[in-house]
Structure 1
Amino acid sequence: MHAIASVALAVFLIVTGVAHFLAPGYFRTLIPACLRRERLLVAASGAAEVVVGALVLVPCGRRAGGWAAAVLITCYLVSHVDALRRARPDRPRLLERPVGAVARLVTNVLYIAWAVAVARSAS
């Protein structure tokens, strides 16, 4: 079971990382305005996700990769907290409303827990 969770996390990270390059416009919308440098941050985070995903995929790198994934995903909390701060009930998109922003935040915390579980279960 641990191997399945690890491989699933690796695939998730790699696919999401590649998506940063295939649909950068979407990922730029997730960057808080105060951070600026959206293009650079999207490219850097996409590359980091691919590298960390590859590390998780290799059994001997799984522990370090799991912890690196937890740290990387924790960095994304800035985006989700900013979305929650800016959320309004009258927004047309669900993810821009308070319930959607809370869902994003909770989902991100679950991703962090997944990465920590992979790191802890690696031998």
Structure 2
Amino acid sequence: MRKPGKASVLAALLGGGGVLHLVRPSMYDWLVPPELGDQRTWVLATGVAEIGTAALLAAPATRRFGGWSAAALLLAFVPAHLHTFRVIPRRPLPVAVAVGRLPLQVPMVAAALDVARGR
């Protein structure tokens, strides 16, 4: 059995995350920095963007564009990851989760760029 490629993994992660943004937006509201304005609007918009990017990654004809879109989207999420450190309770588990999530963006952006470059 062939292992899933980077585009498939990214599509699954972004698609799943996008669906969660739309179905359970309250899970994400607190991640939006207040400086950006209405949290719910941002959560719903990013959910749609994640689903759209997942669709681009899933279709061979648009896969490379999907890779560029995924890289841009993942980089756009960095302010939310940084904002997490302003609002999480200062307890070991929430801090560990926040610290662990931020570096995970690096391999995900790298994978998206690989897809964008046709690798």
Q: Same fold (TM over 0.5)?
A: yes
Greater than 3 Å deviation, 4+ residue runs:
none
Question: Is residue 2–residue 121 contact of structure 1 (8 Å, CA) maintained in 2?
Answer: no
Q: Which residue of 2 aligns with 1:110?
A: 107
String of CA shifts for 1:5-38, please: whole Å, max 9, x gaps: 2112112111110110111011112111222211
Sequence identity (%)? 35
Letter of the 1:32 partner, please give it.
P
Matched, 1:94 2:93: yes
* Unmatched segments (≥5 aa) in structure 1: none
Q: Which residue of 2 aligns with 1:76?
A: 77
Question: Is residue 21–residue 46 contact of structure 1 (8 Å, CA) maintained in 2?
Answer: yes
CA 27–87 in structure 1, closer or farther in 2 if over 3 Å, else same: closer
- Tell me the secondary structure at the aligned position of residue 112 of structure 1: helix
Q: Which residue of 2 aligns with 1:23?
A: 24
Q: Which residue of 2 aligns with 1:12?
A: 13
Question: Is residue 70–residue 112 contact of structure 1 (8 Å, CA) maintained in 2?
Answer: yes
| Structure-2 separation of matches of 1:25 and 1:4 | 32
Q: Which residue of 1 aligns with 2:44?
A: 43
**How many residues are paired up?**
118
Shift of residue 110, structure 1, vs aligned partner: 2.2
| Structure-1 separation of matches of 2:83 and 2:105 | 13
Q: Which residue of 1 aligns with 2:63?
A: 62
- Tell me the secondary structure at the aligned position of residue 121 of structure 1: coil
- Tell me the secondary structure at the aligned position of residue 34 of structure 2: coil
Shift of residue 53, structure 1, vs aligned partner: 0.5
TM-score by length of 1: 0.83
Question: Is residue 6–residue 112 contact of structure 2 (8 Å, CA) maintained in 1?
Answer: no
Shift of residue 4, structure 1, vs aligned partner: 1.9
